[in-house]
Amino acid sequence: MTAPLDVLVVGAGPTGLALATQLRACETPFRIVDRSLDRARESRAPAIQPRTLEMLSAFGVADDLVERGSTAVRLHLHLPRRVLRVPVFDVGCDDTPYPFLLFLPQSETEAALTAHLAERDVTVERGTELLGAAPEGEYVTCRLRRSDGTEETVRARYVVGCDGAHSTVRARAGIAFEGYAYPQTFLLADLEADGLEQGAAHTYLTAAGLLFFFPLGTPATWRMIAMQPPGAPGGEVTLELLQRIADDWTPDKPSLHDPVWMTSFRIHNRGATHYRKGPFFLAGDAAHIHSPAGGQGMNTGIQDALNLGWKLAHVCRGAAPEELLETYEAERAPVGHGVRRLTDRAFTVGTSGHPALRLARTRLAPHLAPLLLRATGARARLFRTVSELGIHYRSGPASATGPQRPRQGPRAGDRLPDTPAGLQRRIAGPGYHLLLTGPAHHWPQDLPLGERHGLLSVHRLGTRSPWPGVTQALVRPDGYVGHLARGTDLTALRAYVDRWLPAS
C-alpha cells in the first residue's frame, strides 16, 4: 500500500477543483479523483458571483475566468404590460473588484480550474471511482476502482466528498440528506434566439410561470430555462416545444434555433444534516442542493471548498489544532441553510400556481416592482445577498473582537472589503495577514507574535488606511476577518493567534 495521504478529494466538479486549487497553494499532499472519464461538457451553472471571483483571485484564476466569460450589467424584467430595465450590482457592490455577474458556462469554469491545476503539476485522476471508505485507526481506508477495472486501496487522513448530489462519501459517512422535491419540471436549452436584446439577462414573469434567457456566449449565445407548461408532453425536449413557450409567454417572440444542449430537470431542496463526521467532510452539491434561482449553487460549493481547504492544510501540517476543522460546519452549514431558504422563497413566488401568488405575479408585481427597485437601500441589500458578498461568520467560533471595537470598517467574521488601492490582491496568499493601520510610530518594529509556521505576514497600512484610527485586523487565508480590535494592545490578538495558529 502507498504512503497515506493527507486529503483525498472525491469529485472533480467545480467544488472539488476549487478545493484542489487551495490545497495545492498550501502545498498539502492530496489526490483528487473523479469517476467520469471527462469533465462536464454541458454548460450547467451559467453564472459566477462577485464573491466567488474575489476568492478565486487569490490563486490567480479570476482573471482567466473573466476573460473567458461575459459580464451582464442589466436585467430586463418582463412583467405583464411593462419591462423594467434593472442595473445589476450597481449599488451595494462598490467594495469589490468584480461588481458584475459573470456569465460563463460551468464547463469553462471547470476548464479554467483544471488548466490552473495542470500548470501546477496536479493531475485530476479521471475514471477513478470511490467505492468504499471506512475509518481504521488514524486513517480512512478507501477503495478506488479505475475505468480499466483495476482497484487500489489508499489511506487518507481526511476524505472530502465533493461528489455531488448522490454523494458516495455522504453515504459512507452515514450522513442523512433531508428535504423535498418540487413538483415542477424545468426545460433547459443552450441555443440561439434572434430578437432578444443583447448584453442583458431576460426574465419573463407570466401567469403561466417563469422563463429566462441568460447571455451565455459559449457554447451558444443564450441559455433558456422555462417551466414546463401544464399539459405539455413529457419525454424529450424539442425545439418546437421551446418555440411554442417563447411565442406564448413573450411579446418579443424570439426565433429559436441551433440548440447545442436541451434537457429537462426536476429541482430538489435538500441539505446534509452534518457537513463533517469524523474524518469525512462534505462540500458543494454533496452538502446542499436547491433551485437555481439566483445562481447560487455552484458558487456556494466553491466557497465551501475555499472555507475548508486551508483549514485542512493547516491542521495536516501541524500548524493548527484539530478544533479548527470544527469551524467548517459551524460557518458553512448556516450559509447552506440560508441559500436553501432564499432560493425556495424565490422559486415559490415565481412558480406557484396558488391563486394569490399568481395574482401577485401578474397584477401586483408590475406596480410594486418599480417602487422596490427605486428603493436603493433595499436593492443594495438584495445585491449584497445574491452576490454572496454579504456572507459572514460574525457569530462563528473563529471570529473575535478585541475589547475595543473599531467604529468603522468590517466586523470580525466579515470578508475583507476591497479598497481602491486593491487591498484584497495585496494580501492574497495561503497564510494569515495582519493589517495594522494608523501612524507608523504606534507599532513596534518587532511585534511580539513569535514564529507561526511562516503563515503570518504583517502589513503596515499607515495613515492611508481603508478605515480611520489605529486598528488591527487579522485576515484569514480565505479573506475573512478573524480578529479585529482598535488600539495598539495586542493581548487579544495574541490570544487569538495562540488558539488558531500556535507558535511553531
User: Interface with ligand FAD by CB under 6 A: which residues?
Assistant: 10-16, 33-36, 44-46, 106, 129-130, 162-164, 168, 188, 263, 265, 284-285, 292, 295-298, 301
Provide the minimum distance between the beta carbon of 414 and ligand FAD in the complex, in angstroms, as a whole number: 24
Q: Exposure pattern of 246-280 as b/e (b: 16+ CB <10 Å)? A: beebbebebebeebebbebeebebbbbebbbbebb
Q: Exposure pattern of 79-105 as b/e (b: 16+ CB <10 Å)? A: beeeebebebbbbbbebbbbbbbbbbb
Q: Residue 118 is inside which H or E element, if any?
A: helix 106-119
Provide the minimum distance between the beta carbon of 353 and ligand FAD in the complex, in angstroms, as a whole number: 22
Question: Under 8 Å CB-to-CB from 338, ≥6 apart: which residues?
Answer: none
CA distances from 393 to 309, 410, 457, 470, 479 (A): 17, 12, 22, 23, 12
Provide the minimum distance between the beta carbon of 36 and ligand FAD in the complex, in angstroms, as a whole number: 4
Provide the minimum distance between the beta carbon of 98 and ligand FAD in the complex, in angstroms, as a whole number: 17
Provide the minimum distance between the beta carbon of 358 and ligand FAD in the complex, in angstroms, as a whole number: 24
Question: In this structure, are residues 80 and 366 in contact, taking their beta carbons and an 8 Å threshold?
Answer: yes
Question: In this structure, are residues 7 and 24 in contact, taking their beta carbons and an 8 Å threshold?
Answer: no
Provide the minimum distance between the beta carbon of 90 and ligand FAD in the complex, in angstroms, as a whole number: 22
Provide the minimum distance between the beta carbon of 151 and ligand FAD in the complex, in angstroms, as a whole number: 13
Provide the minimum distance between the beta carbon of 410 and ligand FAD in the complex, in angstroms, as a whole number: 27
Question: Under 8 Å CB-to-CB from 197, ≥6 apart: which residues?
Answer: 76
Provide the minimum distance between the beta carbon of 216 and ligand FAD in the complex, in angstroms, as a whole number: 10
Provide the minimum distance between the beta carbon of 196 and ligand FAD in the complex, in angstroms, as a whole number: 18
Per DSSP, the three-state class of 493 is: helix
Q: Residue 32 is placed in which grid cell?
A: 483528487
- Residue 12 or 315: the one with the smaller Cβ distance to ligand FAD is 12
- Residue 216 or 501: the one with the smaller Cβ distance to ligand FAD is 216
CA pair distance 494, 497, nearest whole angstrom: 5
- Residue 196 or 435: the one with the smaller Cβ distance to ligand FAD is 196
Provide the minimum distance between the beta carbon of 144 and ligand FAD in the complex, in angstroms, as a whole number: 8
Provide the minimum distance between the beta carbon of 161 and ligand FAD in the complex, in angstroms, as a whole number: 8
CA pair distance 90, 74, nearest whole angstrom: 9
**Residue 155 pairs with which residues in a beta bridge?**
141
Give me the residue label for grid cell 426574465. 203
Q: For the chain, first and last CA: distance in Å?
A: 32
- Residue 125 or 502: the one with the smaller Cβ distance to ligand FAD is 125
Whole-angstrom Cα Rg for the chain? 24
**Residue 288 pairs with which residues in a beta bridge?**
271
Question: In this structure, are residues 56 and 14 in contact, taking their beta carbons and an 8 Å threshold?
Answer: no
Q: Is 340 left (phi over 0), alpha (psi -120 to 50) or beta?
A: alpha
Provide the minimum distance between the beta carbon of 116 and ligand FAD in the complex, in angstroms, as a whole number: 16
Q: Strand 456-462 relative to strand 400-401: parallel, antiparallel, unpaired?
A: unpaired
- Omega within 30 of 0 (cis) for the link into 219: yes
CA distances from 355 to 61, 78, 309, 410, 472 (A): 47, 20, 47, 44, 55
Q: How many CA atoms lie within 13 A of 359 on its CB side?
A: 3
Question: In this structure, are residues 263 and 188 in contact, taking their beta carbons and an 8 Å threshold?
Answer: yes
- Residue 333 or 485: the one with the smaller Cβ distance to ligand FAD is 333
- Residue 9 or 319: the one with the smaller Cβ distance to ligand FAD is 9
CA pair distance 158, 138, nearest whole angstrom: 9
